């Protein structure tokens, strides 16, 4: 069974959904450890309460990004994971770090990439007036939020939404999408061809997009 290390910086709800999906038998990986760059990340306690080893690599204790990334890589490599999962990990990683884990470093981003890379995605989606928003699971490459897309989930933007309401609607989908995408990877069903992700033949292509029904559009 593939093993994974999950990196977090904060509340860890995606991490919790992954751990819970592993626990209920629907995600065939072993979560070897949860690492955080912030000692006060609430997700650390959640992981510990579910019996997962945790470790902090505090970025404020290092002189710069290279030194921090080297310490982080050392902490990760101690668990020899097959998959490194970013789940709300809020540090920009150096190219060397990204290349070290190339092809097995996966992130979830709260927008339908390539729209809205970076921060404040929900407010920016509202400001642009888009009618469909969502989240993306992708392989990490040196260009921020631009790696090959594994799967996406869409949600409608509804009248009266503010960033918090829209974020909550997207987050619900994140919690479904991330375990699914990691499962495909863990089962060896994904390959990257010409910078695009292909799923194996058994997989229905339609599953790459999760979308709830929009009541007005039935």
Q: Which residues bind ligand GRF (CB under 6 A)?
A: 8, 10-15, 43, 87-88, 108-110, 135, 171, 174
- The distance from CA 93 to its chain's CA centroid, rounded to whole angstroms, is 14
Smallest distance, ligand GRF to C-beta of residue 42, A: 8
Choose between 73 and 173: whose C-beta lies nearer to ligand GRF. 173
Smallest distance, ligand GRF to C-beta of residue 15, A: 6
Judge whether 85 and 7 are in contact, CB under 8 Å. yes
125-153 as b/e: b if 16+ CB within 10 A: bbeeeeeebbbbbbbbbeeebbbbbbbbb
Nearest residue (beta carbon) to ligand GRF? 88
Secondary structure E strands in 114-213 = 132-139, 149-156, 190-193, 196-199, 209-210
Smallest distance, ligand GRF to C-beta of residue 194, A: 26
Choose between 43 and 148: whose C-beta lies nearer to ligand GRF. 43
Choose between 57 and 108: whose C-beta lies nearer to ligand GRF. 108
Smallest distance, ligand GRF to C-beta of residue 43, A: 6
Catalytic residue among 59, 109, 138, 175: 109
Choose between 75 and 144: whose C-beta lies nearer to ligand GRF. 144
- Dist CA 106 CA 83 (whole Å): 8
- Dist CA 151 CA 157 (whole Å): 19
Nearest-CA neighbor of 30 among 94, 75, 85, 67? 85
- Dist CA 9 CA 88 (whole Å): 6
Enter the tokens of residue 87: 């789940």
Smallest distance, ligand GRF to C-beta of residue 38, A: 11
Choose between 75 and 171: whose C-beta lies nearer to ligand GRF. 171
The answer, yes or no, to whether the previous bond of 114 is cis (omega within 30 of 0) is: yes
Q: Is 133 a catalytic residue?
A: no
Q: Which residues are catalytic?
A: 109
């Amino acid at each position: 069974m593939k093993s994974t290390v999950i990196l977090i910086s904060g509340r860890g709800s995606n991490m919790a959904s992954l751990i819970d999906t592993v626990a209920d038998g629907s995600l065939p990986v072993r979560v070897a450890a949860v690492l955080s760059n912030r000692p006060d990340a609430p997700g650390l306690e959640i992981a510990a309460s579910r019996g997962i080893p945790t470790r902090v690599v505090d970025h404020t204790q290092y002189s710069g990004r290279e030194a921090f990334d080297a310490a982080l890589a050392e902490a990760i490599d101690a668990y020899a994971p097959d998959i490194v999962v970013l789940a709300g990990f809020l540090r920009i990683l150096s190219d060397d770090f990204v290349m070290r884990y190339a092809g097995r470093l996966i992130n979830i981003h709260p927008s339908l990439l390539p729209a809205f890379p970076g921060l404040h995605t929900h407010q920016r989606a509202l400001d642009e007036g888009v009618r469909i928003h969502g989240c993306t699971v992708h392989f990490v490459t040196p260009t921020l939020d631009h790696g090959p897309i594994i799967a996406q989930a869409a949600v409608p933007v509804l009248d009266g939404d503010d960033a918090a309401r829209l974020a909550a609607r997207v987050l619900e989908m994140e919690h479904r999408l991330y375990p699914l995408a990691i499962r495909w990877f863990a089962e060896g069903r994904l390959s990257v061809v010409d910078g695009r992700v292909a799923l194996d033949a058994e997989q229905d292509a339609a599953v790459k997009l999760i979308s709830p029904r929009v009541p007005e559009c039935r």
